Amino acid sequence: MRFSIYRKLAKKEEQTRLRTYLGALKFTEDEMLHPLDELSGGQRAKVLLLKLSLSGANVLILDEPTRNFSPLSGPVIRTILREFPGAIISVSHDRKYIGEVCTKIYELTADGLKAVGR
């Protein structure tokens, strides 16, 4: 499919907010107008994460949400997820993500889940 990021993710009133996030995720102005199928895998992953966080969903289930992003994108990804208004259930080994985003932390042990923080 040949949908640009804007047509796929945003109505006109959301475009300024979306452009701000995309710029923070290191998308150039030109890349913001590219069809989704012309973006790299990492860029598509960023768009998907942004789409999920802006979708109106009240729960996100994420497996290693920061694993495949560049170190430059990490702070922005953590901010987007920290500002998500719903619940996020995730599995992560990323200590920065856990420290900056998570409010309840559980460890999976041989005996099951054990609350370990916050």
User: What pLDDT band is residue 88 in, cutting at 50, 70 and 90?
Assistant: very high
Give the length of the chain.
118
- Which residue reads 């922005």 in tokens? 76
Check whether 2 has a pLDDT greater than 60. Answer: no
* Pairing, β 105-109 against β 112-117: antiparallel
Structure tokens at 107: 């460890």
Question: How many whole angstroms separate alpha carbon 116 and alpha carbon 65?
Answer: 20
Question: How many whole angstroms separate alpha carbon 11 and alpha carbon 29?
Answer: 18
Residue range 32-71, pLDDT digits in tens: 888 888 888 888 888 888 888 888 889 999 999 988 888 8
In one-letter notation, the amino acid at residue 78 is: R
User: What pLDDT band is residue 115 in, cutting at 50, 70 and 90?
Assistant: very high
